[in-house]
């Protein structure tokens, strides 16, 4: 079983966020949708930043698990009001492809 923590935050400046998180994660994003979204995947973390007008820049969008055993995408809200997603790699790629189609 492969399971990584997923952290998703909002930004209003994707190019600067990419520069900053490249340094912090010692990695480059594996996917970038210009002016909308970037995804980093390392051995320990699945991390994304997204321009999201509904969430203040620098705020947590959601947490979750990239879990190879997940049969489908799911989400729930914890006791603190934080949304937690659970998904496999293909679920995430499908969501990213939908974002590309809508851009």
We report the CATH number of the domain holding residue 65 as 3.10.180.10
Residue 80 domain boundaries: 3-102
pLDDT digits (tens, 9 = 90+) for 13-48: 999 999 999 999 999 999 999 999 999 999 999 999
- pTM (2 decimals)? 0.86
Distance CA 74, CA 6 (A): 13
Domains of the chain: total: 1
Angle, CA 11 vertex, CA 24 and CA 43 arms, to 5°:
35
pLDDT digits (tens, 9 = 90+) for 73-92: 999 999 999 999 999 888 88
Give how far Cα 84 sits from Cα of 11, 13, 91, Å.
Answer: 19, 24, 15
């Amino acid at each position: 079983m492969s399971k990584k923590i997923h952290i998703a935050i909002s930004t209003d400046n994707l190019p600067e966020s990419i520069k900053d998180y490249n340094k912090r994660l010692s990695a480059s994003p594996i996917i970038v949708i210009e002016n909308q979204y970037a995804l980093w995947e390392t051995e320990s973390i699945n991390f994304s930043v997204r321009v999201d007008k509904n969430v203040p820049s620098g705020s947590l969008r959601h947490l979750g698990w990239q879990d190879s055993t997940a049969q489908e995408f799911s989400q729930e809200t914890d006791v603190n009001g934080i949304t937690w997603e659970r998904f496999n790699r293909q679920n995430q790629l499908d969501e990213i492809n939908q974002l590309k189609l809508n851009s």
